[in-house]
Every structure is written in structure tokens, then in C-alpha cells.
């Protein structure tokens, strides 16, 4: 049974201003594969997940997880998304 792999690929790609085409060329896949991964329609192989993480200089766990990711603001700032000073 295949479990869904959650990812932050679209967020990181947008943050770094990398197009699907450029990312696909960098890791050796078709640009549509990147879209399928971002939409959760395709689970990348371990090899591809590691290549994607390496391309962005991130640990693979920063891009992919078996559990849904929390919103980044919640992860960084806590429960309500606001800093306490």
C-alpha cells in the first residue's frame, strides 16, 4: 500500500524563485513530474527526493514527510502564528 507523501516543494520552489522547468532540468525529470509531486499526485522515488533536497541545500525532511506539514507560521511562531515579546 502506497502512503501519501506530503511535501513543501511548491513553497520552497516559489521562495527560491525556481521554475518547474528549471528544477526539472536540474534533477533530470520532466517538468510535469514536478507538478505531479507538488500536487501530491506522485510520490517521488528516494533518489529523486534526495536530488530535490540537495538542489535546495535542505535536508530531505524539510521537503517531504509522511505526516502533513504544519503551516510555516505556526511552526516558526507557535500556536497562534504570532511572536511573543
pLDDT in tens, 63-77: 999 998 877 667 677
Interatomic CA distance for residues 67 and 32, integer angstroms:
24
Structural domain of residue 28, as residue ranges? 6-77
| pTM of the predicted protein model | 0.80
At residue 53, the pLDDT reads: 98
Read off the pLDDT of each residue in 41-68 and give the average, rounded to a whole number.
Answer: 96
Helix, strand or coil for residue 40?
coil
Confirm if 43 and 15 have CB atoms less than 8 A apart: no
Task: Tell me if 55 is assigned to some domain.
Answer: yes
Determine the distance from the C-alpha atom of residue 16 to the mean position of all C-alpha atoms in its chain, rounded to a whole number.
Answer: 12
Residue 22 in domain: yes
Q: How far apart are CA 18 and CA 24, in angstroms?
A: 10
Residue 14 lies in a domain: yes
The span from the first CA to the last CA of the chain, in angstroms, equals 47
For residue 55, pLDDT beyond 70: yes
Amino acid at each position: 500500500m502506497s502512503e501519501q507523501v506530503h511535501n513543501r516543494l511548491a513553497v520552497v520552489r516559489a521562495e527560491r524563485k525556481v521554475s518547474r522547468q528549471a528544477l526539472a532540468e536540474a534533477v533530470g525529470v520532466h517538468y510535469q513530474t514536478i507538478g505531479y509531486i507538488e500536487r501530491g499526485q506522485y510520490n517521488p522515488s528516494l533518489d529523486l527526493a534526495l536530488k530535490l533536497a540537495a538542489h535546495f541545500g535542505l535536508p530531505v525532511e524539510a521537503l517531504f514527510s509522511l505526516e502533513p506539514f504544519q503551516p510555516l507560521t505556526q511552526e516558526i511562531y507557535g500556536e497562534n502564528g504570532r511572536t511573543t515579546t
